[in-house]
Amino acid sequence: MPTTPSLPGLTLVRHPLVQHKVSLLRDRSTPTKIFKELVDEIAMLMAYEATIDLPLEPVDVETPLERTVGQRVAGKKLTLVPILRAGLGMVDGILKLVPSARVGHIGLYRDHDTLEPVDYYFKIPGEAGERDFLVLDPMLATGGSAVSAISALKRAGAARIRFLCLVAAPAGVTRVHEAHPDVPIFCAALDRQLNEHGYILPGLGDAGDRLFGTR
Protein backbone atom coordinates (compact mmCIF):
# COMPACT_ATOMS: atom_id res chain seq x y z
CA MET A 1 0.00 0.00 0.00
CA PRO A 2 1.49 3.44 -0.88
CA THR A 3 2.32 5.55 2.15
CA THR A 4 0.82 9.01 2.48
CA PRO A 5 3.08 11.77 3.72
CA SER A 6 1.90 13.39 6.91
CA LEU A 7 1.74 17.12 7.63
CA PRO A 8 1.81 18.94 10.97
CA GLY A 9 -1.63 19.21 12.51
CA LEU A 10 -3.17 16.64 10.16
CA THR A 11 -4.77 13.30 11.03
CA LEU A 12 -5.56 11.15 8.02
CA VAL A 13 -8.42 8.75 8.75
CA ARG A 14 -7.12 5.58 7.12
CA HIS A 15 -9.93 3.21 8.02
CA PRO A 16 -10.55 0.84 5.08
CA LEU A 17 -14.28 1.64 4.93
CA VAL A 18 -13.51 5.35 4.73
CA GLN A 19 -10.94 4.80 1.98
CA HIS A 20 -13.35 2.59 0.03
CA LYS A 21 -16.11 5.19 0.24
CA VAL A 22 -13.77 8.04 -0.78
CA SER A 23 -12.96 6.17 -4.01
CA LEU A 24 -16.68 5.92 -4.77
CA LEU A 25 -17.03 9.66 -4.07
CA ARG A 26 -14.26 10.51 -6.51
CA ASP A 27 -15.89 8.56 -9.33
CA ARG A 28 -17.43 11.05 -11.76
CA SER A 29 -20.24 8.58 -12.53
CA THR A 30 -21.46 8.46 -8.91
CA PRO A 31 -24.96 10.01 -8.98
CA THR A 32 -26.05 12.81 -6.64
CA LYS A 33 -28.12 10.55 -4.38
CA ILE A 34 -25.24 8.13 -3.77
CA PHE A 35 -22.74 10.99 -3.47
CA LYS A 36 -24.86 12.51 -0.69
CA GLU A 37 -25.14 9.18 1.12
CA LEU A 38 -21.39 8.63 0.91
CA VAL A 39 -20.58 12.10 2.30
CA ASP A 40 -23.00 11.40 5.13
CA GLU A 41 -21.40 8.02 5.95
CA ILE A 42 -17.80 9.21 5.70
CA ALA A 43 -18.56 12.22 7.90
CA MET A 44 -20.00 9.92 10.56
CA LEU A 45 -16.98 7.62 10.49
CA MET A 46 -14.61 10.58 10.63
CA ALA A 47 -16.45 12.14 13.55
CA TYR A 48 -15.94 8.90 15.47
CA GLU A 49 -12.20 9.35 15.03
CA ALA A 50 -12.17 13.13 15.56
CA THR A 51 -14.00 12.91 18.89
CA ILE A 52 -11.80 10.17 20.36
CA ASP A 53 -10.46 12.41 23.12
CA LEU A 54 -13.62 14.27 24.16
CA PRO A 55 -13.58 14.64 27.96
CA LEU A 56 -15.87 12.35 29.98
CA GLU A 57 -17.46 12.72 33.40
CA PRO A 58 -18.99 10.09 35.67
CA VAL A 59 -22.76 9.62 35.66
CA ASP A 60 -24.97 7.54 37.98
CA VAL A 61 -27.02 4.95 36.08
CA GLU A 62 -29.75 2.66 37.34
CA THR A 63 -29.61 -0.60 35.36
CA PRO A 64 -32.50 -3.09 35.64
CA LEU A 65 -30.35 -4.86 38.27
CA GLU A 66 -28.48 -2.24 40.30
CA ARG A 67 -27.00 1.24 40.43
CA THR A 68 -23.66 1.80 38.75
CA VAL A 69 -21.45 4.64 37.59
CA GLY A 70 -21.08 5.14 33.85
CA GLN A 71 -19.37 7.81 31.74
CA ARG A 72 -20.87 10.58 29.64
CA VAL A 73 -19.43 13.32 27.49
CA ALA A 74 -18.74 16.26 29.79
CA GLY A 75 -19.68 19.89 29.32
CA LYS A 76 -21.88 21.78 26.92
CA LYS A 77 -23.29 20.11 23.81
CA LEU A 78 -20.86 19.46 20.98
CA THR A 79 -21.42 21.98 18.19
CA LEU A 80 -21.20 21.21 14.48
CA VAL A 81 -20.47 24.15 12.20
CA PRO A 82 -20.86 23.38 8.50
CA ILE A 83 -19.34 25.87 6.08
CA LEU A 84 -22.15 26.56 3.58
CA ARG A 85 -22.96 25.06 1.27
CA ALA A 86 -21.01 21.86 0.94
CA GLY A 87 -20.42 21.42 4.69
CA LEU A 88 -24.17 20.86 5.09
CA GLY A 89 -23.68 17.45 3.51
CA MET A 90 -21.68 16.31 6.55
CA VAL A 91 -24.14 17.37 9.25
CA ASP A 92 -26.75 14.59 9.26
CA GLY A 93 -24.19 11.78 9.35
CA ILE A 94 -22.55 13.25 12.44
CA LEU A 95 -25.93 13.93 14.05
CA LYS A 96 -26.65 10.18 13.78
CA LEU A 97 -23.62 9.66 16.00
CA VAL A 98 -24.19 12.66 18.28
CA PRO A 99 -27.93 13.40 18.14
CA SER A 100 -27.76 16.05 20.84
CA ALA A 101 -25.18 18.15 19.01
CA ARG A 102 -26.03 21.78 18.26
CA VAL A 103 -25.57 23.14 14.75
CA GLY A 104 -24.18 26.57 13.87
CA HIS A 105 -23.69 27.83 10.31
CA ILE A 106 -21.00 29.83 8.54
CA GLY A 107 -21.76 31.11 5.05
CA LEU A 108 -18.72 31.53 2.77
CA TYR A 109 -18.08 31.18 -0.92
CA ARG A 110 -14.84 31.33 -2.85
CA ASP A 111 -14.54 34.23 -5.26
CA HIS A 112 -13.91 32.56 -8.62
CA ASP A 113 -11.13 34.97 -9.63
CA THR A 114 -9.25 35.66 -6.41
CA LEU A 115 -10.09 32.28 -4.74
CA GLU A 116 -10.47 34.28 -1.52
CA PRO A 117 -13.49 33.54 0.70
CA VAL A 118 -16.41 35.95 0.81
CA ASP A 119 -18.50 35.68 3.98
CA TYR A 120 -22.27 36.08 4.05
CA TYR A 121 -23.62 34.35 7.17
CA PHE A 122 -22.61 33.53 10.74
CA LYS A 123 -24.74 32.00 13.48
CA ILE A 124 -23.57 29.78 16.33
CA PRO A 125 -24.99 28.83 19.74
CA GLY A 126 -24.13 30.96 22.79
CA GLU A 127 -21.43 30.28 25.37
CA ALA A 128 -18.96 29.49 22.62
CA GLY A 129 -16.02 29.46 24.99
CA GLU A 130 -17.40 26.42 26.80
CA ARG A 131 -18.12 24.28 23.74
CA ASP A 132 -16.23 21.85 21.52
CA PHE A 133 -16.70 22.74 17.84
CA LEU A 134 -16.38 20.56 14.75
CA VAL A 135 -16.05 22.75 11.66
CA LEU A 136 -17.21 20.81 8.59
CA ASP A 137 -16.34 21.23 4.93
CA PRO A 138 -15.73 18.39 2.47
CA MET A 139 -12.96 20.28 0.63
CA LEU A 140 -9.82 21.93 2.01
CA ALA A 141 -8.24 23.45 -1.10
CA THR A 142 -6.28 26.72 -0.68
CA GLY A 143 -7.40 26.80 2.96
CA GLY A 144 -8.83 30.32 2.68
CA SER A 145 -12.38 29.28 3.61
CA ALA A 146 -11.28 27.14 6.56
CA VAL A 147 -8.97 29.85 7.95
CA SER A 148 -11.70 32.46 7.64
CA ALA A 149 -14.35 30.21 9.27
CA ILE A 150 -12.07 29.29 12.16
CA SER A 151 -11.08 32.95 12.67
CA ALA A 152 -14.76 33.95 12.80
CA LEU A 153 -15.46 31.24 15.38
CA LYS A 154 -12.53 32.39 17.51
CA ARG A 155 -13.74 36.01 17.33
CA ALA A 156 -17.05 34.72 18.70
CA GLY A 157 -15.20 33.18 21.64
CA ALA A 158 -14.63 29.58 20.52
CA ALA A 159 -11.47 28.04 21.94
CA ARG A 160 -11.77 24.30 21.24
CA ILE A 161 -12.12 23.74 17.50
CA ARG A 162 -11.46 20.74 15.23
CA PHE A 163 -11.67 20.90 11.44
CA LEU A 164 -13.07 17.93 9.49
CA CYS A 165 -12.84 17.62 5.72
CA LEU A 166 -13.02 14.73 3.30
CA VAL A 167 -10.35 15.69 0.77
CA ALA A 168 -7.45 18.03 1.54
CA ALA A 169 -4.66 19.58 -0.53
CA PRO A 170 -1.26 19.96 1.13
CA ALA A 171 -1.30 23.74 0.61
CA GLY A 172 -4.62 24.04 2.44
CA VAL A 173 -3.49 21.92 5.37
CA THR A 174 -0.32 24.00 5.73
CA ARG A 175 -2.23 27.30 5.52
CA VAL A 176 -4.74 26.27 8.18
CA HIS A 177 -2.05 24.88 10.46
CA GLU A 178 0.06 28.05 10.15
CA ALA A 179 -2.91 30.31 10.88
CA HIS A 180 -4.45 28.11 13.59
CA PRO A 181 -1.85 25.69 15.00
CA ASP A 182 -4.22 24.85 17.89
CA VAL A 183 -6.85 23.41 15.53
CA PRO A 184 -6.46 19.70 14.68
CA ILE A 185 -7.32 18.88 11.07
CA PHE A 186 -8.88 15.56 10.07
CA CYS A 187 -9.22 14.37 6.49
CA ALA A 188 -10.07 11.16 4.67
CA ALA A 189 -7.66 11.82 1.78
CA LEU A 190 -4.60 14.02 1.35
CA ASP A 191 -4.40 14.70 -2.36
CA ARG A 192 -1.53 15.74 -4.62
CA GLN A 193 -2.03 19.42 -5.48
CA LEU A 194 -4.30 22.22 -6.65
CA ASN A 195 -4.86 23.07 -10.31
CA GLU A 196 -4.72 26.62 -11.67
CA HIS A 197 -8.38 27.18 -10.69
CA GLY A 198 -7.82 26.10 -7.10
CA TYR A 199 -9.42 22.68 -7.55
CA ILE A 200 -7.95 19.68 -5.79
CA LEU A 201 -6.21 17.02 -7.93
CA PRO A 202 -7.20 14.24 -8.22
CA GLY A 203 -10.05 15.45 -5.96
CA LEU A 204 -13.70 14.82 -6.60
CA GLY A 205 -14.73 17.99 -8.43
CA ASP A 206 -17.00 20.66 -6.97
CA ALA A 207 -18.39 19.16 -3.77
CA GLY A 208 -21.29 21.63 -3.48
CA ASP A 209 -22.40 21.03 -7.07
CA ARG A 210 -22.17 17.27 -6.72
CA LEU A 211 -24.09 17.30 -3.41
CA PHE A 212 -26.88 19.57 -4.55
CA GLY A 213 -27.03 18.75 -8.25
CA THR A 214 -26.13 22.29 -9.38
CA ARG A 215 -23.72 23.12 -12.15
Q: Would you please indicate which residues are annotated as catalytic (active-site) residues? A: 110, 114, 206, 209
Q: At what angle do helices 144-155 and 170-179 cross, to 10 degrees?
A: 20
The one segment of 43-51, 104-112, 151-159, 183-191 that binds ligand PRP by CB under 6 A: 104-112
Based on DSSP, count helices (H) and strands (E) in the chain, helices before strands. 6, 15
Pair type for strands 200-201 and 189-190 = unpaired
What is the number of alpha carbons within 13 Å of residue 16 lying toward its C-beta?
Answer: 1
Q: Following DSSP, what letter does each residue of 84-122 receive, concatenated? A: ETGGGGGHHHHHHH-TT-EE-EEEEEE-TTT--EEEEEE
Q: Which amino acid is present at 69?
A: V
* Site for ligand URA contains 212 (CB under 6 A): no
Q: Which of ligand URA, ligand PRP, none sits in contact with 117, Cβ below 5 to 8 A by type?
A: ligand PRP
* Site for ligand URA contains 109 (CB under 6 A): no
Kindly write out the interface string for residues 43-82 of this chain, putting x where it contacts ligand PRP by CB under 6 A and - elsewhere: ----------------------------------------
The one segment of 18-26, 27-35, 123-131, 137-145 that binds ligand PRP by CB under 6 A: 137-145
Candidate list 42, 86, 135, 153; residue touching ligand PRP; CB under 6 A: 86
Residue 107 pairs in a beta bridge with 84, 121
Candidate list 141, 150, 173, 188; residue touching ligand URA; CB under 6 A: 141
Measured CA to CA, the distance from residue 6 to residue 16 in angstroms comes to: 18
Q: Which is nearer to ligand PRP, 9 or 172 (CB)?
A: 172
Please tell me what DSSP assigns to residue 203.
Answer: S
Nearest-approach distance from CB 139 to ligand URA, in angstroms: 4
* Site for ligand PRP contains 136 (CB under 6 A): no
Measured CA to CA, the distance from residue 134 to residue 67 in angstroms comes to: 34
Largest CA distance in the chain: 65
* Site for ligand URA contains 199 (CB under 6 A): yes
Candidate list 108, 146, 207, 211; residue touching ligand URA; CB under 6 A: 207
Residues 144, 110 contacting (CB under 8 angstroms):
yes
- Interface contacts to ligand URA, rule CB under 6 A: 86, 139, 141, 198-200, 203, 206-208
- Interface contacts to ligand PRP, rule CB under 6 A: 83-86, 108-110, 115, 117, 137-146, 172, 198, 207-208
